[in-house]
Amino acid sequence: GQSLEQPSEVTAVEGAIVQINCTYQTSGFYGLSWYQQHDGGAPTFLSYNALDGLEETGRFSSFLSRSDSYGYLLLQELQMKDSASYFCAVAPTSLHGSSNTGKLIFGQGTTLQVKP
């Protein structure tokens, strides 16, 4: 089976740094993605890791450790507009190979509340 775990809620203040962790169990793993979703909006892509290490995109960074089946999203210099739900998502491989199926298995999401 496939499962992902992430905290349900995180609260932080403007200007702070917050880390949202994600652990996963999958039968085949191609990569780990992070998505942001504001209330009433569509999920928008933030970051993707296929290999171990840190990927940095502006204020957002994402880390992956394949051996630990673990990743995190790091948000720096928090702003009020960062209040949203954040989802980690695993891209599983095909059942009998290593190719990317294109589909995503999502975690339950972490609601981030940024306070003044």
Residues lying near other proteins in the complex (CB under 8 A) are found at 31, 33, 41-45, 48, 50, 87, 89, 91, 100-109
Q: Kindly report the backbone phi and psi dihedral angles of residue 30, in degrees, each rounded to the nearest multiple of 5, phi listed first.
A: -110, -40
Place of tokens 């998502």: 89
Question: Minimum distance between the CB of residue 14 and other proteins, rounded to whole angstroms?
Answer: 26
Nearer to other proteins, 18 or 89 (CB): 89
Tokens representing 78 are 């928090």
Question: Minimum distance between the CB of residue 70 and other proteins, rounded to whole angstroms?
Answer: 19
Question: Minimum distance between the CB of residue 8 and other proteins, rounded to whole angstroms?
Answer: 11
> 3-class DSSP state for residue 39?
coil
For residues 43 and 51, give the distance between their C-alpha atoms in angstroms, rounded to a whole number. Answer: 23
Nearer to other proteins, 43 or 71 (CB): 43
Nearer to other proteins, 18 or 43 (CB): 43
For residues 107 and 112, give the distance between their C-alpha atoms in angstroms, rounded to a whole number. Answer: 15
Amino acid at 8: S
